[in-house]
Structure 1
Amino acid sequence: MTHIAPLVWHKSSYSNGSGGNCIATATPDGSTVLVRDTKVPRGQILNFTCEAWQEFVTCVQRPDWSVRA
């Protein structure tokens, strides 16, 4: 039987406890980043490669970033 360790979730540093839109991430194997909504901990989990997650984070941290149609 294989033992699966529980995921260790890390809440965003932007979470301030006032009920805003917050995420948490977990890295179960060093090559995958899991992302979930902190208000729905048993809800859907998004799965990214570490490279794709880093590219996303870098993109949204740019001061000129905006969603374009």
Structure 2
Amino acid sequence: MLPPRSADLDWQTSRSCSQGACVQVAAVGDGTIAVRDSKDPAGPILRYSATEWREFLTGAKDGDFDNVK
């Protein structure tokens, strides 16, 4: 599987963006989700399956990461 090209994706910035510390996400045509750091748009892109992304979002909403340091 080839990595997505950053310029080819429709990046969305998180609503909780503060002081430039932002996460951006984009849907990739093969059903995966791409994630990058907005401060480094040419940097690495992480890729997650739709299932992995749903599980992460559910965990975040449920507070699973509230005490992570």
TM-score by length of 2: 0.74
Provide the aligned length of Structure 1 versus Structure 2.
Answer: 63
Shift of 1:45: 0.4
Aligned to 2:34: 34
Higher relative contact order (CA 8 A, sep 6+): 2
Q: Choose 1 or 2 for highest CA Rg.
A: 1
Alignment of 1:19-58 (within 5 A): 19=20, 21-29=21-29, 31-58=31-58
Return 5+ residue gaps in structure 1 as ranges: none
Shift of 1:64: 5.3
Aligned to 1:67: 68
Q: 1:64 to 1:47 in 2, by over 3 A?
A: closer
Shift of 1:60: 1.9
Aligned-residue RMSD, C-alpha: 2.4
TM-score by length of 1: 0.74
Aligned to 1:7: 9
Shift of 1:63: 3.0
- Give aligned-pair identity as a percent: 35
- Tell me the secondary structure at the aligned position of residue 39 of structure 2: coil
